[in-house]
Amino acid sequence: MSHDKIRDAARKRMAQTGEPYATARRKVIREHQQAANKNPAPGTKWFAISFSKAGFDRITAWLDTLFGGGPGRSGVEVGGGEIQVRMADFKLNIPRSSVRSVRRSKARLGGTTGVHASRGRLLVNGSADGLVELALDPPCYTGRTLNTMFVNQKVTSLILRLVDPDGFVAAVEGDGRT
């Protein structure tokens, strides 16, 4: 959504609700992001990242929401040629040709949540159960974000926690059509 459209929608909302401009603008952007997540581009399917409601996972969800992610806005979009992972300010685009395998994972995470990269393994989750793992070859590289300590890191294995892990596995194993 362009700046002009955001500005116009925020002014229209201000006139309707009496909210200050900054509040109206935030709500317009949030509504646009949620609509985009619920209605992905044709030929793609959206899989939300699952967040736990207990312990440190609540803190992770709050921090992700602060940075533009969190429940309802963090997830994975599977399209015909690419898989896009989004969580707060973290983004990773994976060509489907790089995916060598996808399966349910039994990895032990020790209660950690968020985005973590170490030795080629990338973890993107909001809770520790029902994980899915993708093996990537050739590897992908993360961008330079706060989540990756501003370092491009090689990714040969991606572990995700999704609301619908079996649907994700089926979508990735399929030919890209949903």
Residue pLDDT, tens place only, 98-135: 999 999 988 776 666 777 778 888 888 776 667 899 99
Tens digit of pLDDT at every position of the chain (178 positions): 677 888 899 999 999 999 999 999 888 887 876 666 555 566 788 888 887 765 555 666 666 666 666 566 678 889 888 999 888 778 889 999 999 999 998 877 666 677 777 888 888 877 666 789 999 999 888 877 665 666 777 889 999 888 888 999 999 988 544 3
Domain residue spans of the chain: 1-39, 43-173
Contact 81, 53 (CB under 8 A): no
Number of other residues whose CB lies within 10 A of the CB of residue 86: 21
Going by C-alpha positions, the residue among 88, 92, 106 that lies closest to residue 139 is 92
Q: How far is CA 105 from CA 3, 72, 85, 87, in A?
A: 41, 23, 17, 20
The answer to whether the predicted template modeling score (pTM) of the entire model surpasses 0.75 is: no
The encoded tokens of residue 173 equal 């194993």
Could you write out the three-class secondary structure of 116-135?
EEECCEEEEEECCCCEEEEE
Token readout for 27 is 């709500």
